[in-house]
Amino acid sequence: LVAYIMKPKAGYDYLATAAHFAAESSTGTNVNVCTTDDFTKSVDALVYYIDPDNEEMKIAYPTLLFDRNITDGRGMMCSFLTLAIGNNQGMGDVEYGKIYDFYLPPAFLRLYDEPSVNVEDMWRILGRGTTNGGLVVGTIIKPKLGLQPKPFGEACYSFWQGGDFIKNDEPQGNQVFCQMNECI
């Protein structure tokens, strides 16, 4: 359950915008697709409360939507945040949407017992001392799509002159113009 302060842009209906917000945060798409089935509909996020005068909106997200870590099955906060406050931030009908509270069922909350890697682990992986290994700096190379291996590699090299690690942007995979094995 996630509670928001949400304001539609001028001219947009509050309930319709709230429903669009929930759809964009879960199983909805901007086009009709033939792959939507009963299971897909069963994991829709649903708006269960609105108060347009106070800009309040509450959405129920099925916990099945949130990714689990592939190595240990734990919950991943990045997945929760991506759905709850990710894509919906770029919607054309939303002036702003801000989380002000959330609730996770106790059994689901236990999946978030602690980070699987802490800062001391990061220091060790980076070859630093484990008592005061300093600041760990990472980045995501932009733009998220469209870079070829050479400019991508040059941007990575420039960052590595003072930074520690690079994470690819989620859409970056193995495009024909930017093969992963060439980038690595």
* Contact between residue 183 and residue 152 where contact means Cβ atoms under 8 Å apart: yes
Residues 55 and 89 both lie in one domain: yes
List the beta strands (DSSP E) in the chain.
Answer: 2-8, 46-51, 56-60, 94-102, 138-139, 165-166
Domain of residue 171 covers: 119-182
**Mean pLDDT along residues 41-59:** 94
**Mean pLDDT along residues 31-38:** 72
The more confident residue out of 164 and 12 is: 12
Half-sphere exposure at residue 96, Cβ-oriented, CA atoms within 13 angstroms: 5
Alpha-carbon distance of 48 to 54, in angstroms, equals: 15
Residues 139 and 68 both lie in one domain: no
pLDDT exceeds cutoff 80 at 173: no
pLDDT exceeds cutoff 90 at 56: yes
Residues 159 and 71 both lie in one domain: no
Alpha-carbon distance of 174 to 105, in angstroms, equals: 37
The more confident residue out of 34 and 47 is: 47
Q: What is the pLDDT of residues 117-136, one digit of tens each?
A: 788 888 998 898 888 888 88
- 115 is written with which tokens? 């980070």
Residues 89 and 136 both lie in one domain: no
Residues 127 and 102 both lie in one domain: no
Residues 85 and 125 both lie in one domain: no
Q: How confident is the model at residue 33 (pLDDT cuts 50, 70, 90)?
A: low
Residues 30 and 70 both lie in one domain: yes
Residues 16 and 62 both lie in one domain: yes
Residues 99 and 126 both lie in one domain: no
Q: What is the pLDDT of residues 133-154, one digit of tens each?
A: 888 898 888 777 777 888 888 8
Q: Among 6, 12, 127, 13, which Cα is nearest to 58's?
A: 6
Count the domains in the chain: 2
16 CB-contact burial (10 Å; exposed 0-12 / middle 13-18 / buried 19+): exposed
